[in-house]
Amino acid sequence: MEETRYETAMFAGGCFWCMVKPFDEWPGIIKVISGYSGGHVKNPTYAEVKTGTTGHYEVVHITYDPKLVSYQQLLDLYWPQIDPTDDGGQFFDRGPQYRTAIFYYNEEQKALAEQSKKEIEKSGRFQKPIITAILPAGPFYEAEEEHQYFYKKNPEKYKQERIESGREKFIQENWK
């Protein structure tokens, strides 16, 4: 019997609470972990990252089965979760820890990410430049347990957060 080889992807899209559910509900996704990447502090805590001084992004680290879901499909799911023109954060979450980025693990992911960004730029969907960074993946640090699968643990607060932040309205107006 052939062994299943899982692959990984990592995306920053503002508050990681809002980025888990869209991926977690997709067939072929094995797990989605909230955490931090891209900074200069080892093993940062939520309290440290939240200050915006560690250089980290809030990210989702995704393990997936490439036989069931492609990296391109993950990109196609990622973009409509964010405002790719905002370099100061996402919606009401402000600061460098809430910037958007695609972290790639290999040259194929890098090429697909760059191509998908070009397609969004060419689409004319946005008047402002697409500033989402495409960066090599570095160390990933898992967030504390209370931040994992927030949408399942706190469904009402999760829904409220998506509405109050402006994320839900932005997605409806710009991506649907």
CATH number of 7-174: 3.30.1060.10
pLDDT of residue 164: 93
- Sequence letter at residue 99: R
147 neighbors 47 (Cβ within 8 angstroms)? no
3-class SS of residue 79: helix
Phi, psi of 141 (to 5 degrees): -120, 120
- Which whole number is the average pLDDT over 78-100? 96
- Which whole number is the average pLDDT over 164-169? 94
pLDDT of residue 2: 61
- Sequence letter at residue 80: P
Q: Model confidence at 1, in pLDDT bands (50, 70, 90)? A: low
List the domain boundaries for the chain.
7-174
pLDDT of residue 166: 94
DSSP 93-104: EESGGG-EEEEE
Judge whether 15 counts as a catalytic residue. yes
- Which whole number is the average pLDDT over 37-49? 96
DSSP 115-142: HHHHHHHHHT--SS----EEEE---EEE
From 149, 151, 58, select the one nearest 100 (Cα to Cα).
58
Active-site residue (options: 15, 74, 102, 143):
15
For the cut 90, the answer to whether the pLDDT of residue 88 exceeds it is yes
59 neighbors 46 (Cβ within 8 angstroms)? no
What percent of the chain stands above pLDDT 70?
99
pLDDT digits (tens, 9 = 90+) for 2-20: 677 999 999 999 999 999 9
Strands (E), the chain: 7-13, 29-37, 57-64, 89-90, 93-94, 100-104, 133-136, 140-142
From 27, 11, 6, 8, select the one nearest 117 (Cα to Cα).
11
Tokens of 102: 């695609």
pLDDT digits (tens, 9 = 90+) for 114-155: 999 999 999 999 999 999 999 999 999 999 999 999 999 999
Whole-prediction pTM = 0.95
